[in-house]
Amino acid sequence: MNERVLEDLNPRTVLFYARDLGTLGEQLDRAWQVATELFPVQLVDGLTYEYWIGEQKRTIMATLSAYDTEASIASRQAPGPRYTGDMPKISRKIRLGEKERILQERIRANAALPTEVREFVDRQYDDITLMRNAVLARIVKFIMDAVTTMGSISISENGVILTVNFNIPAANRETLATPWSDNTANPYDDEKRWIETMEDTYGFTPTRALTSSKVVRNMLKNDKVRELVLGRNFSGQQQRQPTLEEFNQWRQAVGLPRIATLDSRVESEGNDGTLTTTRLFPEDKYVLLPPEPLGNLLMGPTVEALDQVANGTINFSEARGIWAGQYKEIDPPTTWTKAAAIAFPTFPGADRIFLADVL
Which residues of the chain form CATH 3.15.30?
6-54+81-166+293-349
* Cβ–Cβ < 8 Å for 95, 336: yes
The 10 Å Cβ neighbour count of residue 281 is 24
- The pLDDT tens digits for 162-203 are 788 899 999 999 999 999 999 999 999 999 999 999 999 988
**Short-list 177, 259, 187, CA closest to 222:** 187
- CA 226 vs. chain centroid, Å, equals 32
The 10 Å Cβ neighbour count of residue 328 is 10
**Short-list 249, 190, 254, CA closest to 222:** 190
Q: Is the pLDDT assigned to residue 4 strictly greater than 50?
A: no
What pLDDT, on a 0 to 100 scale, did the predictor assign at position 69?
A: 74
In sign, the C-alpha dihedral spanning 160, 163, 166, 171 is positive
- Average pLDDT across the chain, whole number: 89
**Short-list 357, 295, 358, CA closest to 146:** 295
CA–CA distance, 118 with 149 (Å, rounded to integer): 46
* Cβ–Cβ < 8 Å for 325, 11: yes
Indicate the pTM of the whole model. 0.90
Average pLDDT, integer, range 325-337:
86
Average pLDDT, integer, range 82-91:
90
- CA 62 vs. chain centroid, Å, equals 38
- Would you state the CATH architecture of domain 6-54+81-166+293-349? Super Roll (3.15)
Strand 82-86 and strand 48-52: the pairing is: antiparallel
Angle between helices 223-230 and 187-202 (to 10 degrees): 80
